Structure 1
């Protein structure tokens, strides 16, 4: 048995650092090199980002384009419940809604995933069997991320064993803000390894990163470490998903694909509640990274109440009038 007090034994068991994709193989060779790379990324013009998203947010989408946008947004929803009072019954109810969002209209698209705590992933997997809807589970001591790496990895492995095929992890914001970028990188890489075949969404918790420059750095760090998606927020911190933050993250995945050939998804979460909010994000995607990302394979909305508004707006387009509040289920 390894002597846990022996640092040499611990060092011997530490796996080699995951190499970033070419042409960035050397940037993680040391903490100083990684810091130089991340701080050498182009700075973000916050005023410019806010102005651009404000202009794009005024785009008017009508008739058939609006109908397409609503259906596209529905198909991108990670229908989410992350409360301490969650029960197997609530998860089964959410799964039923995910499969058939509008029982009065079978043509309504299914959502992309149901997102739950890891201990309920098995309930969701059973309820969604055969549908193609993903089971996403939050892990790594969500939402704070305050736990040892061993505990975080056990959390991930437990969620995958329970049936999750997507893992939403939180980064160590304390380490990131303290400039310990390699620690954050190594932890994401270890979580990616623990995911096995499950996709990894890396939650940056942008509301705690303070600046858009930090959002860009954290986005690149997460992608270099192997994240399949970068996600704005846990939904537990305000501000959560904002259009300027999403713009910076979209620019990051665009530039990362241009440099490496690997495409990474984006998931805004927290505070996206209305059809107007969703459509603003779709316009932002189209104008920033193009139609390649207009798919649930590459863009998701982390939301609970958004789906209800999308369904009400879809019903209005289909019938010409708004339905009453009892047309949709209250989650």
Structure 2
């Protein structure tokens, strides 16, 4: 596997146009994972610590404020209470989330709050969540976020291009966004709940990677249906195929509706089974979430004390 950034390829419809995804088969395959994967005790705690390191700690609310973002960034720096971390034997270990994800106007506040931490700021852009803005404005928004210090950009695609099967239009749009990102890594949000079929999800995933996406991401979190395991399996199989053809690994990010520590274990298990250990690392796997972190911390406290604390004992920010 080549660890260099995905450079993309020319648009090559032959890689996906003959592929049809069987939803029933995908559902059967993914139903096996939570049923048979069982990680217990110290091993479970280790997996949960690893899950924290893969979280893009996120706030994307209409009432976000600079103070809320600063609190979220403080939680990203210290996601596990020091007493719990010490009880786990990790007092000297640096534990932090993978990134903090915010709206564009909150980027400067997050950058200031995370200065010196090594935690990157990710910003949604391109008219998130619908993406229904003229392309020049969407590209300008990307450039503005990068100028403000965002190191990662989560873009949204024009769903109409995918729904119509207009792959050249989708490719050109994503390639232009990748160019606007410059050195910032680009996560392409496919809004899979609005794409209709898994076959379309597979094709859109492949086009995004051919256009140079560093990550493909399931959802904005604002759709009726967000991250699901059958959708994830479809995207992961596209990732595996792309890597096999090009030698370049592309990251994967489920987002939307992910709240529990149990879900974190299932998603890690899926990546482990389908892509292997290397793909579980934060440079290739992210979880877009906020409340999930509180539940993980609660489960870790139960591991070291044998008691469950109230959710209020583990505030996000």
TM-score when scaled to structure 1? Answer: 0.88
Identify the match of residue 92 of structure 1 among 70, 92, 104. Answer: 70
Determine if the alignment matches structure 1 residue 50 to structure 2 residue 36.
Answer: no
**Match in the other structure for 1:187:** 173
**Match in the other structure for 1:238:** 224
Aligned mates of 2:268, 2:78 — CA distance in 1: 23
**Match in the other structure for 2:58:** 80
Aligned mates of 1:238, 1:79 — CA distance in 2: 21
Structure 1 residues 26, 49: CA separation in 2 closer, same or farther (over 3 Å shift)? closer
Aligned mates of 2:46, 2:11 — CA distance in 1: 44
Q: Pairwise mapping of residues 126-205 of structure 1 onto structure 2 (< 5 A)?
A: 126-205=112-191
Aligned mates of 2:163, 2:155 — CA distance in 1: 17
Determine if the alignment matches structure 1 residue 225 to structure 2 residue 208.
Answer: no
Aligned mates of 1:303, 1:116 — CA distance in 2: 12
Aligned mates of 1:277, 1:20 — CA distance in 2: 31
Aligned mates of 1:239, 1:37 — CA distance in 2: 27
Aligned length: 302
Q: Name structure 2 gaps, 5 residues minimum.
A: 1-6
Deviations 1:145-191 (A, max 9, x none): 00111000011011111110000000000122122211111111111
Deviations 1:22-47 (A, max 9, x none): xxx462xxxxxx4x65322x321211
Determine if the alignment matches structure 1 residue 102 to structure 2 residue 80.
Answer: yes
Asked if 2 retains the 8 angstrom alpha-carbon contact of 1:119 and 1:162, the reply is no
Offset of residue 120 of structure 1: 1.1
Asked if 1 retains the 8 angstrom alpha-carbon contact of 2:8 and 2:213, the reply is no
Determine if the alignment matches structure 1 residue 290 to structure 2 residue 257.
Answer: no
Asked if 1 retains the 8 angstrom alpha-carbon contact of 2:191 and 2:226, the reply is yes
Determine if the alignment matches structure 1 residue 121 to structure 2 residue 99.
Answer: no
Root-mean-square deviation (CA), in Å?
Answer: 1.5
**Match in the other structure for 2:17:** 39
Asked if 1 retains the 8 angstrom alpha-carbon contact of 2:122 and 2:150, the reply is yes
**Match in the other structure for 1:60:** 38
Higher RCO structure, 1 or 2 (CA under 8 Å, sep 6+): 2
Determine if the alignment matches structure 1 residue 70 to structure 2 residue 28.
Answer: no
Q: Name structure 1 gaps, 5 residues minimum.
A: 1-18, 28-33
Aligned mates of 1:192, 1:286 — CA distance in 2: 28
Determine if the alignment matches structure 1 residue 324 to structure 2 residue 303.
Answer: no
**Match in the other structure for 1:249:** 235
Asked if 2 retains the 8 angstrom alpha-carbon contact of 1:70 and 1:275, the reply is yes
Aligned mates of 1:131, 1:20 — CA distance in 2: 31
Determine if the alignment matches structure 1 residue 212 to structure 2 residue 198.
Answer: yes
TM-score when scaled to structure 2? Answer: 0.92
